[in-house]
Chain A
Amino acid sequence: MGRVMTFLTRTRSGNGRMDWTDWVTYGYLLFGVFMMFAPVVWLVMSSFKTETELSKFPPRFLPYAQETVAVDGYDEPLPIFHIHSGEHAGKTLVQTRRVGLVAQMVDPNDPSQKLRISVNDRAPVENLNFAWENYSELFERFNFFRFLWNSTFITVVATAIMLLVNAMAAFALSKYKFRGRTGVLMLVVGTLMVPQTVILVPLFLVTKELGMLNSLWGVIIPGAATPTGVFLLRQYMITIPDEIIDAARMDKASEWKIFWRIILPLSAPAIAVLAILAIMWRWNDFLWPLIVLNQSEKFTLQLALNSFQGEMETRWSNLLAMTVLTLLPIATVFMFLQKYIATGIASTGGK
């Protein structure tokens, strides 16, 4: 506790006193932590609630569920209540039926005797209960694995292709002197200006003509060459000294070998940054898959999630579980790589 206090009260001047600006700073930062994380935490907690618990208002933070017990003579497990007032006060009973404001209840140890209890005299016996079935149902009742596989396949393959193709182009643009280099560079800069969102219609036609509609390749290929990627890698490769390449050529290494044995490993930091970006873009991509993929078995997680929003209007329990599973991979990547992600995105200016 003492250490926490010294940590919190350390100030810029180092005299141990909190300046008012420090209070404002930490206040703002704590508010920031709340604003950024609380919604996600709320979502995760809600995803463990049963459908009955989800429809309760006001909602509670932790997931509770009513205790039930199997009673002789009844097929279904019956909900347990604690009776707090009336003639049976202090007893714990189970409900067999309910008619209006009167519940028909029995003692679980003596099911033969039926008691009539006013619903105002009782309170449900609840326990903390994580509804894992919200998650397991996704795998049993919905095609969740399909969507997960589609998303994973697109992300992994697209990232790999993008890295290879962009690294090759960056290598050519940084290490060779050939006629037309400036021209190619200008061309690449030019495409930076035209985002995918404004060429949707013709892009759709080209993809259709190449027979890639409703196929995962139709999502992967059109975005494989990104000007951002070429630039990022080229800027990095320029800093690799040419002498290394000359030495390799002396040793009769082929140009291809120079590329993948020397340039690629030396560009690892830049490639890592681009890989993280590519994974993020592809995993979260929405508009282009929405246009290319029409059959639900080809849907990515993002598409499935969005289309389930309408269909599962009343099934928030599954929808929330699916949302959590969709954000899980990115959250994991974030935890392990947050240092690199932040610097990487700052250095490229994003997309």
Chain B
Amino acid sequence: MNTQTLAPHESMELHEALNFKTLCLAKSKLMQGLVFDQELKALMQKDVIQSAQQIAELQAIYARAPFQAPVPNSPTPITH
């Protein structure tokens, strides 16, 4: 079961979950440079660490999407 290809609708949910989580990670990371309260900053850093872990787990399962394709090693996204 675990190596089976995902259904299209599940893949779409994972696409949305992954992108939402990616944006949350980016915001929690960037906003740490703007907050004054150190407790709020610490909670945002906890969110960064937790989000990175969740993104890794989402990516592992998203790899079974029917439209999966080889991803280049470069961290720079494809913009063209």
> Is B a genuine binding partner of A?
no
- Give chain A's interface residues, CB within 8 Å of chain B: none
- Give chain B's interface residues, CB within 8 Å of chain A: none
